[in-house]
Amino acid sequence: MEPFGGETFEHVMIILHATAGTVAVLLPAVNLLRRRKDRAHRWIGRSWVVAMYLLCTSGMFIYSMTGGFTLFHALALFTFVTTTLGVLAIRRGRVRAHVGNMVGSWLGAIGAGTAAALVPGRQITAWMIGTPATFWTVVALIVLATTAWTAWVLLRIGPRVRPAARVTA
């Protein structure tokens, strides 16, 4: 099978799924490593939620191996729910529930992606083995774009500095 070949709906979904998955694995590390939970944290977090929703939704349209509903589809539904619960938790001020749902969703995505890459016959495995130069070039471009977005958010959106209070005599 030609990698990235054919403009079928499923090929588009596979490419969207792989792209969203790569972004969804990268972004949370930034928020977890930073001490400040500021505006940049929220922007990066919202970007991650969009990537997770794209990952879960696109995964529901990928049936080429089995032709039916699989464990990966069930995990996508579960992850969609846990990501949503994480968003709702922080909106209600429940920080621990937010952290638990978001970190759990992230680790689940890493685990599912790793498992999917190791299953013989899957598209990602075929791309890695069949056309490694193309595969790693695409991965590098996604990583570069994600890094550029993150840098822009951190530099432009970052914490808003409040002006010093005026002292009147």
Strand ranges in 23-129 using DSSP code E only, listed in sequence order: none
Rg (CA), the chain: 19
For residue 110, is pLDDT > 90? Answer: yes
pLDDT of residue 6: 44
Report the predicted TM-score, pTM, of the whole model to 2 decimal places: 0.81
pLDDT of residue 12: 86
Highest mean pLDDT out of 16-20, 31-35, 81-85, 151-155: 81-85
Band (pLDDT 50/70/90 cuts) for residue 135 is: confident
Q: Output b/e per residue, 152-167; b: 16+ Cβ within 10 A.
A: ebbeeeeeeeeeeeee
Question: What is the distance between the alpha carbons of residues 39 and 155, in angstroms, rounded to a whole number?
Answer: 11
Domain ranges of the chain: 9-157
Question: What is the distance between the alpha carbons of residues 74 and 80, in angstroms, rounded to a whole number?
Answer: 10
